[in-house]
Amino acid sequence: MKIYTRTGDGGETGLFGSERVPKDDARVSAYGSVDEANAALGLARAELARCQATARDAAAELDADLEALQSRLFDVGSDLATPLTARQRDMIRSIDALDVTALEDIIDRYDAELPRLTNFVLPGGSATAAALHLARGIVRRAEREAVTAARTAGINPEAVKFLNRLSDLLFTLARAANARAGVPESVWRGRSG
């Protein structure tokens, strides 16, 4: 199978179920951002793999969680790419409330090892944390685009909830990555700070 099809050369793409839409359709924008976030998670995992041998156990847990999130992002992408009325909906793994709850459980697990937040945290720190903050920003964009798609085309509302919770999780994972690497967090200081 060739990687190119030429079917998108006119500025359209196919949703799952064969419906053709413009490449700037709200659904396409949303799942495009989900794909971009997935790539940023891949970057975070690549940086994590470079950790010192002394941090391997902590890195392995985080890597396993990130790999699972990457799989869920493929599910989110296919969910967004499949119209609610398409016959093919039964062929995909739709995001549901259990997926959202699973993210909350992971947030709680990592948050238990972190100091209480007392200020806004600036994105950065270790390379892994910086990549996770980048992914968080991309997920927030995907969420905004999914909200637009929900208004204009109709999408699974659980996918929007999932993206909202995922941005919270990625923030928590970035903090955990810094803590486990021994990198202090930089906090926002207002004009008076």
Distance CA 46, CA 9 (A): 33
For 129-141, what is each residue's pLDDT tens digit? Answer: 999 999 999 999 9
Domains and CATH numbers, the chain: 12-112+121-181 (1.20.1200.10)
Amino acid identity, residue 136?
R
For 102-115, what is each residue's pLDDT tens digit? Answer: 999 999 999 999 99
Q: What angle do CA 124, 130, 136 make, to 5 degrees?
A: 110
Distance CA 34, CA 163 (A): 9
Write out the two tokens for 24.
């700037």
Distance CA 17, CA 27 (A): 14
pLDDT band at 21 (very low <50, low <70, confident <90, very high): confident
Return the CA Rg of the chain: 18
pTM of the model: 0.87
Distance CA 89, CA 95 (A): 11
